[in-house]
Chain A
């Protein structure tokens, strides 16, 4: 299980980094979204992998699921979503103002 989860995390981060390094705004936004998902998964995992652990205190339980990572990840999801939404709007505006979706705002050279 640990291997599977870490592999998911690693692949998502790798894809995210690859996409962020692209030159067009759309892949960059996709990459940031993917990285955001991966980071949220990571934050969630800081509570460790468990099954069937309660999060409410009871007399006959000794181990519990850690509730704090769940709260953290909720905050991170909300903030990340707002940031991505802003970036989408900004990219559309850049497309309108600069007439290109290149992140450096330059038109590519016409093919020779």
Chain B
């Protein structure tokens, strides 16, 4: 019995995006209803998929019923189900925030948003490396539109760099895929893993080169250090809901690195075995350090948040870079926390920015914000969660990550940089909070005795702050249900670190035997 639900996270945004485009000239209220209902339905569907994947084995969906490995296959394991659910929840809240005004700044916001979801969901689900390229391109093309949404010179300039870099990245991706196909004769990731294990030693250099070429592309998506300089501008200058949604886009890079290098270049992979173990950890640690320096050095709250995304990617990949089951599980626990909290920070900063008409998100003294208690509380909660202080989820996830990497040789480095990065983030966010909420210019009333010479700032109703507050509210939930999430993450890490499960699910039980025999089985 084929589970048709698996393909629904692709079909639904595709259908809704098309419907919204057909209604392009209708009032934006209709787009909002369509977009929000699509995201809501997506949340329900991915919730069901998450529940199913937590219960059962890895499920596959064979498009067009072409026999694998010839056709394209979608694979739903625990990790991809979790990523789908995170994306759907984040998308719903970002879209809810965007309906408070951002979506009016330009045309076709809602259609682009749906296609963006199509691309992201596809990248999580696909089991075919060329299909991954296609979904990357869908994701990127919509993200180009979203980055530029609202216009303005800064966005155009940042968008230009983003587009050119990613076009070069796509070209390089095709080179890597081409080499893999030329040598192994398949594009299905499970089949690639099997054939990689059986590849002759004479092809070792080319196969490893292909693996590292692909790593360069994924590192560009995830924003690892030499390839992360596009991120602060692109995320810092774009509109807040888009930046918040993009918090999950860098995690696509993280997910793909985890997927491909634990499957195709796993320890069973013969000539390609353990390809990344020498590269990923140092690269991630340097990224973490650079991100922390950027956080400490930025003079604009939006850029600080953008650098926090880099810190979060560096932390995740440093822990994943140990390629141990428990460490990967800890990273899977940390992943939803860091995605939701950086996204929440983008939204909170947007709320603060709109009540500071002169300074915006820049860290210079300005008149007080209109609702200091509300915004102060939101900002404090976000800062505590991101900095990794108890009692919110950042603390527990970080403790778990640090405990699980203890056995690794690089543990002192990871501990120092993760804790140091957290400290720098706290200092930077604390300084930002002091400047925004306490270091105030005198209000107009005091200065010239008469009313407002500035434009009145918007006053937020419940609906305005709800998305940001809800995102922050996920953090205590992650703590309360921490036990269940940890068990889930351990089970997910089991399936990720051991490629045999994935290969058996995709190709059938007998195809994974070549992997098992040389090592005497499990």
Contacts and interface: CB of A to CB of B under 8 A. Distances in A.
Interface of A: 20, 25, 28, 32, 35-36, 39, 42-43, 45-48, 68-69, 72, 75-76, 79-80, 82-84, 86-87, 90-91, 93-94, 97-98, 103-105
Contacts of A25: 160
A48 B156 CA distance: 42
Interface stretch (B12-20, B175-183, B335-343, B465-473): B175-183
B449 interface: no
Q: What are the 3 closest A-B residue pairs judged by CB atoms, nearest first? A: A46-B182, A105-B157, A46-B178
Contact of A104 (B157, B159, B177, B181): B157
B181 A32 contact: no
Contacts of B153: 97-98, 105
A34 to B, nearest CB: 10
11 contacts: A28-B164, A32-B171, A35-B171, A69-B181, A75-B134, A79-B170, A83-B163, A83-B167, A90-B148, A91-B160, A94-B156
A42 B152 CA distance: 38
A42 B160 contact: no
A42 B144 contact: no
B163 A87 contact: yes
A20 B177 CA distance: 22
A65 B262 CA distance: 33
Contacts of B464: none
Contacts of B168: 20, 32, 35
Contact of B174 (A45, A76, A104, A105): A76
A70 B145 CA distance: 30
Interface string B113-149: 0000000000000000010001001000100100010
A98 B156 contact: yes
Contacts of A32: 164, 167-168, 171
A86 B171 CA distance: 16
Interface of B: 130, 134, 137, 141, 144, 148, 151-153, 156-157, 159-161, 163-164, 167-168, 170-171, 174-175, 177-179, 181-182, 187
Contacts of B182: 45-48
Given A20-B164, A35-B168, A39-B171, A97 B144 contact: no
Contacts of A103: 160-161, 164
B108 to A, nearest CB: 14
**Which of B153, B163, B171 has the largest number of chain A CB atoms within 10 A?**
B171
Given A46-B178, A68-B181, A90-B148, A36 B156 contact: no
Contacts of B181: 46, 68-69, 72
Given A72-B181, A98-B153, 11 more contacts: A69-B178, A82-B141, A86-B144, A87-B163, A90-B148, A90-B159, A97-B153, A98-B157, A103-B164, A105-B153, A105-B160
Highest count of chain A CB atoms <10 Å: which of B152, B177, B181 = B181
A43 B178 contact: yes
A43 B157 contact: no
Given A94-B157, A98-B157, A105-B153, A43 B164 contact: no
A81 to B, nearest CB: 12
Given A42-B175, A43-B178, A90 B160 contact: yes
A93 to B, nearest CB: 6
B123 to A, nearest CB: 15
Contacts, number: 84
Given A32-B167, A83-B167, A93 B156 contact: yes
A46 B170 CA distance: 17
Nearest to A68: B181
Contacts of B161: 103
B179 to A, nearest CB: 8
A100 B217 CA distance: 30
A87 B164 contact: yes
B180 to A, nearest CB: 9
Given A97-B152, A98-B156, A42 B134 contact: no
A84 B83 CA distance: 30
A25 B159 CA distance: 13
Contacts of A83: 137, 141, 163, 167, 170
A80 B168 CA distance: 11
B273 to A, nearest CB: 24
Nearest to A25: B160
Nearest to A43: B178
Contacts of A47: 182
B137 A90 contact: no
A25 B156 CA distance: 13
A103 B230 CA distance: 13
Nearest to A98: B153
B171 to A, nearest CB: 5
Contact of A90 (B134, B156, B178): B156
A69 B382 CA distance: 49
B171 A36 contact: yes
B21 to A, nearest CB: 16
B157 A39 contact: no
Contacts of B144: 86, 90
Given A82-B141, A97-B153, A87 B167 contact: yes
B147 to A, nearest CB: 10
Given A83-B167, A90-B144, A42 B156 contact: no
